[in-house]
Amino acid sequence: MTRAKQNDFMPVIITGPTIEEVQKGGYQTEMAEAIGKFVTVEQPKYLGIGNGIDEFFLDSPELLTTYVESIKETLTRVRSVSSSIKVFATLQYERSSGLNGGLFGGENDESKNILKDILPQLEPFDFIAFTTYPGLIYKIPSELPNDYYTKIKSLTTKPVIFTEIGWSRSVPAEGYDGSESAQVEFIKKFRDQMKDVQPKMQLWSFLYPQKVKSPFDTMSLLADDQETSPGFEAWKTK
């Protein structure tokens, strides 16, 4: 938060319990106190209390219900500090859509789409938030269906945000188009579908390469020695 203020950035804070903590329980009051103190001091504009919570539902539908109940004390504390703080939890879009093939290593089965089961339970949140990496499923951007993201509008009336978006700038695996030109093509397709979705926020995951596991280490918009790139310029274009 200090660095954000120094550089005039708008930080988006994401925290929350792990799947193991939700399974075990007993963290609710401690979490509410810690996050309550943080928001009192820092007054963030956006706060995520849960990351990849579709994993809870995939473990068991009851675990997601347990999680939603467990964060209500925290939500009460946050909103007692400021009603302007926008609160959300993220879902991994491909996994939630039943797309677990490609570089995920599983199978694609859209009949296992769980968004229709999860989204009605997220009423306590201000936003529906997604992370999305379609390049893990589709080898080239042109394979991306024209309704890949627009179908979100039929699933929720809440405002939508994207906290992680990525496509590889270098080949993540044999047969996959990871390149600067592929990033540009994906960005154009993504932005075209966003005309219908109208998200309140869109965040590309990495500007520069990070020390993260493959293939996410290939998804930055810039190389270490670059100040611009075709993908970076495309992303800046509204």
238 band by pLDDT with thresholds 50, 70 and 90: confident
Read off the pLDDT of residues 106-137 as tens digits, 9 standing for 90 and up. 999 999 999 999 999 999 999 999 999 999 99
Domain that holds residue 53: 2-236
Q: HEC string of the chain?
A: CHHHHHHCCCCEEEECCCHHHHHHCCCHHHHHHHHHHHHHHHCCCEEEECCCCHHHHHHCHHHHHHHHHHCHHHHHHHHHHCCCCEEECEEEHHHHCCECCHHHCCCECHHHCCHHHHHHHHCCCCCEEEEECHHHCCCCHHHCCCCCCHHHHHCCCCCEEEEEECCCCCCCCCCCCCCHHHHHHHHHHHHHHHHHHCCCEEEECCCCCCCCCCCHHHCCCCCCCCCCCHHHHHHHCC
Q: What is the dihedral of CA 220, 16, 201, 162, to 10 degrees?
A: 60
Q: What is the CATH number of the domain that holds 128?
A: 3.20.20.80
Supply the pTM of this predicted model: 0.96
Read off the pLDDT of residues 29-43 as tens digits, 9 standing for 90 and up. 999 999 999 999 999
State the average pLDDT over residues 145-149. Answer: 97
Read off the pLDDT of residues 148-169 as tens digits, 9 standing for 90 and up. 999 999 999 999 999 999 999 9
The total domain count for the chain is 1
